[in-house]
């Protein structure tokens, strides 16, 4: 072979070698890429399975939390944390992080990793502290033992609630920073679910963080407290609920609760010539001369803070000491509480149950004690009521009540505005206001206009036991200026049988004869509190327009209509309102809690109507 041939052959061999290395290099790269992709795909599937397993357990954890099953919730939380930790581990190795720089796929990997880490943070910094707090704040630990509430667990729960509140706030910021705009639909949906959860829970935890530390002091941890319990009677309605006819004094010291005494509005208190506190602008014109001068009529105005301030001042003038707060409850809420315990038998032989308490206290005792001696009737009726209250208190501070059922009963009473609380300590009241007070004027916002629909007996009777109410809310944009038109219609149905009207006891018909109202007829004041800045432009009774009044209570336009409802009949009052500013909003109503629940219906408004 010549030198040229040998040189050519060597060149060919070298080329073949290079080609083989290129081929194997390409194969190697392909294998590495394939292995890289397979590694990420496998870990992604595993992480997805772990997060789905954790998510599946969240509903179980929620149910256990609502049932205050702390031990079950802790076991479930361990499982969730285990799944979450594995998901974080699977999405945080160097290979995964390198994958995040790959176009298209990278944004999904980054979002997946961030969501997994965020889920773990929520478990560690929000859910775990809340479970720790639940060990101290739950129905069983808060239930009185021999009349004493152990304040230790409540005090210890404060730091855990603070930790959960801070963790939720940080998590909300973190989820808002996660960009899922270019990711697959499932990741965007997962982020939205977490964001919604944190948006709902974060404000609540912030409020709890400010209120939980107050509870021990409210229960006498620092110094003894004196509270007045106001019993409203919705059979004789007032805007806030019912006439304030009975009271009890509670002494609270270091968690020990004692029922010290009781008082009756008609027996223990007189009437003042002038209001005992300064009247808010317009309130006297709306509610008349009794407001602020009589303890029974402190509930005429739909503000529990105002009613409590009047009660506190009258209490001091009559008994010579200041009270630390006022708790209000009505017999309907009391019936919920009775449902949390065994039936209570009174000395009269009456048995208090959830079903029997309301008809007994709001109707049957008046029918039973109805002789010609009105004073004797009142004494007998008050005795039954007083014994029922005393028996209820004894049961509440005993071991015979179901703590979980009691919590649900109190929650329901609070939601229906039948259970109210006011503190005479400004710092506490300010914190409670942040939590959201019940028993105050309706507050509108950018998305919702809220009206107040309030009822008041206008005879001085207990006839509202037989009253049924329906509120219709209608709206439409019918004006050129873009302000919506609202119509609030109230149907009042008198459930008294016309044939049986003459058999009603004197205490039930009350001042009907003196007021010139036929027996069994109900005369009511229907009040509308419109949103500040809005205008009440028309009103009617049974479809017939009536003249306008020009009333206000602070910044709220107010209108009052007096209606009379015959036995077995229905009377309708309606109010037309023009919204304060242009735009479309929802329309809601806050309504006086009555004996019978009020039905609220949303309807369409005919612009030509």
Q: Find out whether 354 and 346 touch, Cβ atoms under 8 Å.
A: no
Give the model's pLDDT for residue 26. 35
Domain boundary among 145, 178, 212: 212
Give the model's pLDDT for residue 265. 87
* CA distance linking residue 169 with residue 487, whole number of Å: 40
384 with 464, same domain: the answer is no
436 is a domain residue: no
**Alpha-carbon distances of 538 from 489, 589, 607, rounded to whole Å:** 12, 18, 14
Q: What is the CATH number of the domain that holds 462?
A: 2.60.40
195 with 261, same domain: the answer is no
Q: Quick count: other Cβ atoms within 10 Å of Cβ 450?
A: 18
- Position of tokens 């964001």? 195
Closest residue by Cα to residue 567 from 494, 504, 509: 494
66 with 187, same domain: the answer is yes
Domain boundary among 431, 462, 479: 431
294 is a domain residue: yes
* CA distance linking residue 358 with residue 188, whole number of Å: 51
183 with 231, same domain: the answer is no
382 with 327, same domain: the answer is yes
Q: Side-chain half-sphere of 187: how many Cα atoms within 13 Å?
A: 23
296 is a domain residue: yes
220 is a domain residue: no
108 with 177, same domain: the answer is yes
Q: What is the CATH number of the domain that holds 376?
A: 3.40.630
| Structural domain count of the chain | 3
218 is a domain residue: no
Domain boundary among 431, 461, 481: 431
Give the model's pLDDT for residue 392. 85
192 with 282, same domain: the answer is no
Give the model's pLDDT for residue 440. 93
Q: Find out whether 168 and 176 touch, Cβ atoms under 8 Å.
A: no
498 is a domain residue: yes
72 with 37, same domain: the answer is yes
609 is a domain residue: no
Give the model's pLDDT for residue 561. 97
Strands across the sheet containing 586-591: 551-553, 556-565, 522-529, 448-457, 586-591
Walking along the chain (609 residues) 10 residues at a time, the average pLDDT comes out as: 58 53 36 35 50 60 54 59 55 48 53 68 74 68 74 80 81 78 62 73 74 84 94 96 93 90 85 93 91 94 96 96 96 93 92 95 92 80 86 80 82 92 92 78 95 96 97 94 96 95 91 91 97 97 94 97 97 97 96 97 87
114 with 132, same domain: the answer is yes
247 with 329, same domain: the answer is yes
366 with 240, same domain: the answer is yes
317 with 199, same domain: the answer is no
In terms of residue numbers, what domain contains 348? Answer: 225-431
């Amino acid at each position: 072979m010549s030198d040229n041939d040998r040189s050519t052959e060597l060149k060919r061999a070298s080329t073949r070698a290079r080609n083989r290395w290129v081929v194997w290099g390409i194969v190697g790269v392909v294998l590495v890429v394939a292995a890289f992709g397979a590694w990420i795909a496998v870990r992604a599937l595993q992480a997805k399975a772990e997060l789905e397993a954790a998510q599946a357990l969240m509903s179980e954890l929620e149910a256990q939390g609502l049932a205050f099953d702390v031990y079950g919730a802790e076991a479930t939380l361990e499982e969730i944390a285990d799944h979450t930790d594995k998901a974080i581990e699977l999405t945080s190795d160097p290979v995964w992080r390198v994958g995040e720089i790959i176009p298209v796929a990278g944004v999904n990997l980054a979002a997946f990793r961030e969501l997994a880490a965020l889920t773990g943070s929520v478990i560690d910094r929000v859910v775990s502290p809340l479970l720790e707090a639940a060990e101290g704040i739950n129905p069983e630990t808060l239930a009185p033992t021999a009349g004493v509430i152990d304040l230790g667990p409540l005090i210890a729960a404060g730091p855990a609630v603070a930790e959960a509140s801070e963790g939720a706030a940080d998590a909300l910021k973190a989820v808002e920073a996660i960009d899922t705009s270019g990711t697959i639909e499932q990741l965007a949906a997962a982020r939205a679910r977490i964001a919604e959860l944190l948006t709902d829970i974060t404000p609540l935890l912030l409020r709890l963080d400010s209120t939980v530390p107050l509870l021990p002091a409210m229960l006498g941890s620092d110094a003894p407290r004196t509270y007045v319990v106001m019993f409203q009677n919705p059979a004789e309605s007032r805007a806030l609920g019912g006439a304030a006819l009975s009271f009890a004094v509670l002494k609270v010291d270091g968690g020990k609760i004692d029922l010290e005494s009781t008082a009756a509005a008609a027996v223990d208190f007189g009437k003042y010539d002038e209001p005992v506190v300064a009247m808010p602008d317009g309130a006297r014109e709306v509610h008349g001369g009794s407001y602020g001068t009589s303890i029974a009529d402190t509930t005429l105005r739909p503000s529990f803070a105002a009613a409590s301030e009047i009660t506190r001042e009258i209490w001091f003038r009559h008994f010579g000491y200041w009270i630390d707060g006022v708790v209000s409850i009505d017999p309907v809420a009391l019936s919920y509480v009775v449902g949390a315990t065994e039936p209570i038998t009174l000395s009269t032989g009456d048995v208090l149950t959830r079903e029997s308490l309301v008809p007994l206290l709001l109707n049957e005792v008046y029918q039973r004690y109805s002789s010609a001696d009105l004073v004797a009737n009142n004494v007998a009726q008050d005795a039954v009521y007083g014994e029922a209250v005393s028996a209820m208190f004894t049961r509440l501070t005993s071991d015979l009540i179901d703590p979980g059922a009691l919590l649900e009963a109190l929650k329901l009473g609070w939601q229906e505005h039948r259970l109210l609380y006011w503190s005479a300590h400004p710092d506490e009241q300010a914190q409670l206001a942040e939590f959201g007070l019940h028993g105050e004027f309706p507050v509108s916002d950018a998305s919702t206009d809220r009206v107040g629909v309030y009822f008041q007996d206008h005879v001085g009777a207990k006839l509202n036991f037989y009253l049924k109410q329906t509120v219709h809310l209608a709206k439409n944009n019918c004006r050129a200026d873009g302000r919506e038109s609202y119509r609030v219609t109230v149907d009042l149905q008198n459930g008294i049988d016309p044939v049986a009207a003459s058999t009603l006891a004197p205490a039930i018909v009350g001042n009907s004869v003196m007021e010139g109202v036929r027996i069994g007829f109900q005369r009511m004041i229907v009040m509308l509190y419109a949103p500040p800045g809005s205008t009440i432009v028309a009103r009617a009774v049974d479809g017939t327009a009536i003249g306008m009044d020009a009333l206000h209570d602070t910044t709220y336009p107010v209108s009052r209509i007096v209606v009379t409802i015959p036995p077995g009949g229905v009377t309708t009052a309606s109010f037309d309102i023009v919204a304060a500013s242009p735009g479309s909003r929802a329309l809601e109503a806050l309504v006086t809690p009555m004996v019978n629940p009020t039905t609220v219906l949303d309807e369409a408004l005919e612009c030509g109507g």
